[in-house]
Amino acid sequence: MIKRLLVTGAGGGLGHYVREGLKGSAEILRLSDIIDISPALCGEEVVRCDLADREAVNELVRGCDAILHLGAISSEASFDALLQANFLGTYNLYEAARKAGVRRVIFASSNHVIGFHPVGEWLDDKAERRPDSLYGVSKSFGEDLARLYFDKFGLETACLRIGSCFDAPRDRRMLSTWLSPRDFISLVAKLIEAPAIGHLVLYGVSANRDAWWSNAHADFLGWKPLDTSEPYREAIERRDEEPAAGSDYQGGRFATVGILD
Ligand code: NAI
Ligand code: 15L
């Protein structure tokens, strides 16, 4: 077990799953966010930090063995907002990780780096990136930064292109893209435990009947998703009869949103 795992964005939706689910993956979880999160329990440290603040991030990362980088604006937003949280925040994190000798980052990338591929097209880690939004571009930047820091400094990253991680799929598209919280946790745990991952790009998706993404290249992890969106299909298909905006694209509605001020 590693000693200290830093979790950025720990106050968000996925952060909540992680706080409970990754207890067994590190002796100490250092939980951080720009917003207030509830006080540290046994085996936890809580640090409030804006990822855009370089000095604060240097301090935050010191003493950590690995990082689960969830902290970000998690949807389409203005370039200026993304510039701070996602572009600068991710750069600050990688620089701090390099200086502190962190071994591995698990970067919460997104399906929106490939969101302009048409629905039904089968993609793997070699697929061309086709971001569907400035948000998707910010995650694509994070993946490039991760590649640079591996090639230049040997800092390992799993770029985890998460589909839709919520308690349950919310619409027709998520019947393909859903990642159950349980599968998310088991995948992250494998990515922490694996002896070596190098620079890895993979998809965070459950065993959905109509999924579009292959993780065959990552079989060495020994991860098998246990959940599927099938039990939700009937109710969703009955409710959502009309195609939703952006339903031709894997990124769904993100592909239809213009540039936000
Ligand atoms: P969320 O929006 O619930 O949580 C993100 C957290 O990051 C928030 O608590 C927010 O306060 C924090 N944050 C934002 N700006 C920050 C800054 N400047 N400094 C420090 N913290 C900051 O999002 P969620 O759903 O928990 O997602 C976590 C990560 O996974 C995000 O990076 C998101 O882009 C990514 N992701 C999530 C997916 C999902 O289905 N939930 C799908 C694909 C990617
Ligand atoms: C994401 O990247 C978002 O962070 C999340 O809120 C969902 O919109 C998800 O993608 C999705 O594509 O469903």
**What's the pLDDT tens digit per position in 167-185?**
999 999 999 999 999 999 9
In a domain, 93, yes or no: yes
Give 241's contacts (C-beta < 8 A, 6+ positions apart): none
State the maximum Cα–Cα separation within the chain, in Å, rounded to a whole number.
53
3-state SS, 126-141, equals: CCCCCCCCHHHHHHHH
In a domain, 246, yes or no: yes
In a domain, 223, yes or no: yes
CA–CA distance, 188 with 68 (Å, rounded to integer): 8
Q: CATH number, domain at 178? A: 3.40.50.720
Q: For 103-110, what is the mean pLDDT?
A: 98
CA–CA distance, 213 with 102 (Å, rounded to integer): 29
Query: In angstroms, what is the span from residue 92 Cα to ligand 2's centroid?
Result: 23
Ligand nearest to the CA of 19: 1
Active site residues: 135
In the structure encoding, which two tokens stand for residue 179, read together? 């990642």
Residue 44: what are its φ and ψ, rounded to 5°? -130, 155
In a domain, 226, yes or no: yes
Cβ–ligand 2 contact at 133 (below 6 Å): no
Query: In angstroms, what is the span from residue 70 Cα to ligand 1's centroid?
Result: 5
What is the reported pTM?
0.99
Q: Among 107, 94, 106, 6, which residue's Cα sits nearest to residue 54? A: 94
Strand 26-33 with 44-48, pairing: parallel
How many structural domains does the chain have? 1
Query: In angstroms, what is the span from residue 163 Cα to ligand 2's centroid?
Result: 7
Q: For 120-139, what is the mean pLDDT?
A: 98
Domain carrying residue 128 = 2-256
pLDDT band at residue 133, thresholds of 50, 70 and 90?
very high
Handedness of CA 26, 152, 140, 160 (dihedral sign): negative
Choosing from 6, 14, 31, 138 the residue with most ligand 1 atoms within 8 A of its CB, the one to mutate for a pocket test is 14
25 neighbors 1 (Cβ within 8 angstroms):
yes
CA–CA distance, 72 with 168 (Å, rounded to integer): 22
In a domain, 261, yes or no: no
H-helix or E-strand containing 14? helix 13-21
**What's the pLDDT tens digit per position in 41-79?**
999 999 999 999 999 999 999 999 999 999 999 999 999
